[in-house]
Structure 1
Amino acid sequence: MEISDVEALRSAAGVAALADAVAEGDPLALATRLRAAGHDPHLVSLALTQQRLRRSAAGKLGSDAAVMLFTADAVEQATRASVAERRAARLAGSGATRVVDLGCGAGSDLIALARAGLDVTGVERDPVTAAVATANVEALGCTDRARVICADATSVALDGYDAAFCDPARRAGGRRVFDPDAYSPPWSFLLSVAARIPRTAVKVAPGLDHDRIPPGAEAEWVSERGDVVEAALWFGPLAETPRRASVLPAELTGSGAREAPVGEIGGYLYDPDGAVLRAHLVAELADRIDGRLLDPAIAYLTTDSPADTPFARGYRVEHVMPFGVKRLRAELSRRGVGRLEIKKRGTAVTPEQLRPQLKLNGPNAATVILTRLGTAPIAILGQPL
């Protein structure tokens, strides 16, 4: 997409084409109908692409997506509305008033910051994406508090801002970038922003090595509906705890350096959420649920009584046995299990390899958790709580 395409979509003819392109169905047939109705063929192509991108973005951005413009990369990299709103509220609650959003993309965080009452300037290096963000700010009625400038983040004067949000590009050549030094802008620049503007938040890859977390910064992992969707570093007065696992809307905090107790398998087993695992807060979760690890090297917790927690998925333990395909197959057959959830940790066995060997047949459903105690592989049969 070019800047001229963004301008075309914002014109009266573009708005009309977008409205007529809302209908779902065979894209080729719809394109034919739109051209027959008098829409410019190039606008038809642009409008159909935008409606496809809007449908893709709706899962992250809700109803806002229906009036926004996107590039394909912007949809993939956009912050979920629930996460952006929560971050904006935290920045606003810190006393910040004027924020610079470095790497604003299509503007999901930019708009959330403006809606939280902050004056925000978005900076985007790519001209087309900057034009898209400007269009989205206008479409969502945020021009009184938000604006977009097209520039390299490293060249922008930061004087006058009392908070910063940095969302560096973490893709190159279509592939994810895991090394912070290869982010754009690079890690050294992001740290320099935090040094100049104490209230700084930096979006990072969820796989960030804990060794790269600067002293005094808070590292947070955010999970929604069971998926770790984001990680962020909070600096200065925004850093409230060393580690935070946010399983929206609940939060678990701690040092990330403690070891959980280890003990015998009880009547219940808990599989911690990915945010808890990445934040190294299994010990803090064990405290919450009065639990213990089955094995010191494997992050499954067990309890003697059921615990109500948003930070882990729980199972009632029904049977524990040494793992072996024939033994497991016989036990599942005896129980009449035809639908099986297979979970694993600490074993090389894969569900894809195991499932056909079990020859499942029966009316019942169950879960099997494959793990080990020391070097001994075991299978735990249970039912989800």
Structure 2
Amino acid sequence: MDRAELVELLSPEGLRLLDSLPPYDAALDVVKMVGDLRKAGHPPALVSAVLTQSKLRAKAVPKFGEFASRMLFTEAGLEQATRLQVAALHAGRFVTAGLHRVADLGSGIGGDAMAMAALDLAVTAVDADEVTATMASFNLAPFPGASVEHCDAEDFDLTGFDAAWLDPARRTAGHGNTSRLRAEDYSPSLDFVFALAKRLPIGVKLGPGHDRDQIPAEAEAQWISVNGSLVEMGLWFGALARDGIRRSALLLRADGPAELTAEADSEDAQVRELGSYVYEPDGAVIRARLIGDLARQLDAGMLSDGIAYLTSDAVTPTPFASAFRVLEVLPFDEKKLRLALQERKIGTLEIKKRGVDVDPAALRTRLKLKGSGSGTLIVTRMAGHRVSLLVERVA
């Protein structure tokens, strides 16, 4: 979206037209809808803009819930925006720390700033892109304690602010499809971010796979997963970092949050023989390197050095890992696998793999599955050899 399209969209006519559209449905005849809107006298650019926004609002519901229907987005801005559930946790850190005036540097379309404003923090959203900053202004309009500045994050005057939140752009500039940047090309730069941490309490959102060697020793690093999907690594400095915690795995699940914390990376548990059960730790636990602490909670050991599967003789319920009962151990031999699966009439197969070079989709095709049953196969290494574990999930 360019500036001219945005101006049309933000006109009274544009906003009325957008709000008058039926809920977006991929099955709708878009060509007919475009034709109907054009016949009604609406300009082509406006029709394109409102239909794009309608589609983005529908796409934004998993992140923003009912708020999505009153927000504006760019494709890139929505992709990079923080889920509202997670943004609320970010905002809560500032409130708990007793901070009041926060600069959101690199605010995007304003998701985090919305959560902060909702908790009565005085927040200024700052973004270097004019279109994105304008959309943030629209999204933050209902919050009297929020303001927006069109400015480069590194040039913004922080006088009077007692904290900052930063979400460095990890993709090339633009509003549509973008490509990933190298860490040294983030905007604002990580050098700026970590220098700022020496002056103010700050929080920083980075990708969950970010190089752990770049985590400053004084930061609390927290990996967050939402319903099993790893979404971010947050770094917290100064008053925003919790005492005695430098590693955290926070799981946001339908049945409530669960968190595993430690003062440092945990030491891995010892490798042991395969037991009756195998555990697959959540991605946040793996990234936080807290597998060893989890293993000790479960009285489990590592299935193999350097591979994130645990095993035990008894199952212990835990929110931090999925548990599987071992039904059969097979060598990694596709013929024997095919026969074993045919005997069990397994036609639907979930394939998990770690430590082996296997394409699950291609393997599933070669196994020629038939039958009404379903199952789970773990392909991994054990005692230096590739093995296939036929397992079933433990509820």
Find the aligned partners of 1:160 and 1:287 in 2 and give their Cα distance: 47
**Shift of the alpha carbon at 1:217?**
0.5
User: Are residue 381 (structure 1) and residue 385 (structure 2) matched?
Assistant: no
Name the counterpart of 2:110. 107
Find the aligned partners of 2:387 and 2:2 in 1 and give their Cα distance: 57
**Shift of the alpha carbon at 1:215?**
1.1
User: Are residue 159 (structure 1) and residue 159 (structure 2) matched?
Assistant: yes
Residues 252 and 92 (structure 1), Cα distance of their counterparts in 2 relative to 1, 3 Å cut: same
Identity of aligned residues (%): 44
Shifted more, 206-215 versus 324-333: the winner is 324-333
Aligned amino acid, residue 156 of structure 1: F
Find the aligned partners of 1:127 and 1:357 in 2 and give their Cα distance: 51
Q: Are the aligned partners of 1:253 and 1:284 in contact in 2 as well (CA < 8 Å)? A: no
Measured against aligned partners, the alpha-carbon deviations of 1:247-291 in whole angstroms (never above 9, x if no partner) come to 112111122141222212111111111111111111121122222
Q: Provide the TM-score with structure 1 as the length reference.
A: 0.95
SS at match of 1:96: coil
**Shift of the alpha carbon at 1:351?**
1.4
Name the counterpart of 2:357. 348
Find the aligned partners of 2:366 and 2:150 in 1 and give their Cα distance: 57
Measured against aligned partners, the alpha-carbon deviations of 1:103-138 in whole angstroms (never above 9, x if no partner) come to 000000010010112110111100111111001111
Name the counterpart of 1:288. 297
Question: Which of residues 130, 139, 143 in structure 1 aligns to 2:133?
Answer: 130
Name the counterpart of 2:227. 225
Find the aligned partners of 2:172 and 2:383 in 1 and give their Cα distance: 41
Question: Which of residues 21, 30, 34 in structure 2 aligns to 1:31?
Answer: 34
SS at match of 2:378: strand
Find the aligned partners of 2:225 and 2:204 in 1 and give their Cα distance: 17
1:136-175 matches, within 5 Å, as 136-138=139-141, 141-142=142-143, 144-172=144-172, 174-175=178-179
Find the aligned partners of 2:187 and 2:33 in 1 and give their Cα distance: 39
Measured against aligned partners, the alpha-carbon deviations of 1:28-87 in whole angstroms (never above 9, x if no partner) come to 111111222333332222111111111111121111111111112111111111110111
SS at match of 2:224: strand
Measured against aligned partners, the alpha-carbon deviations of 1:217-272 in whole angstroms (never above 9, x if no partner) come to 01111111211111111111222211111111211112214122221211111111
Question: Which of residues 245, 250, 270 in structure 1 aligns to 2:258?
Answer: 250
Shifted more, 219-228 versus 170-179: the winner is 170-179
Find the aligned partners of 2:389 and 2:278 in 1 and give their Cα distance: 9
Measured against aligned partners, the alpha-carbon deviations of 1:156-207 in whole angstroms (never above 9, x if no partner) come to 111211111001110127221242x21011111001211110x200111211
Residues 383 and 29 (structure 1), Cα distance of their counterparts in 2 relative to 1, 3 Å cut: same
Q: Are the aligned partners of 2:58 and 2:68 in contact in 1 as well (CA < 8 Å)? A: yes
Name the counterpart of 2:310. 301
Q: Are the aligned partners of 1:21 and 1:34 in contact in 2 as well (CA < 8 Å)? A: no
SS at match of 2:197: helix
Find the aligned partners of 1:189 and 1:160 in 2 and give their Cα distance: 19
Name the counterpart of 1:183. 186
Measured against aligned partners, the alpha-carbon deviations of 1:277-316 in whole angstroms (never above 9, x if no partner) come to 1111111211222221111221101122222222111111
**Shift of the alpha carbon at 1:154?**
0.9
Structure 1 gaps of 5+ residues are none
Name the counterpart of 1:79. 82
Find the aligned partners of 2:102 and 2:73 in 1 and give their Cα distance: 23
Find the aligned partners of 1:82 and 1:288 in 2 and give their Cα distance: 28
Structure 2 gaps of 5+ residues are none
**Shift of the alpha carbon at 1:362?**
2.1
Q: Are the aligned partners of 1:103 and 1:169 in contact in 2 as well (CA < 8 Å)? A: yes
SS at match of 2:303: strand
Shifted more, 153-162 versus 120-129: the winner is 153-162
Aligned amino acid, residue 240 of structure 2: L
**Shift of the alpha carbon at 1:21?**
2.7
Aligned amino acid, residue 261 of structure 2: T
Find the aligned partners of 1:13 and 1:96 in 2 and give their Cα distance: 40
Shifted more, 32-41 versus 259-268: the winner is 32-41
Name the counterpart of 2:6. 6
SS at match of 2:198: helix
Q: How much is the aligned-residue C-alpha RMSD, in angstroms?
A: 1.5
Find the aligned partners of 1:84 and 1:363 in 2 and give their Cα distance: 43
Name the counterpart of 2:344. 335
Q: Provide the TM-score with structure 2 as the length reference.
A: 0.92
**Shift of the alpha carbon at 1:339?**
1.5
Find the aligned partners of 2:361 and 2:300 in 1 and give their Cα distance: 31
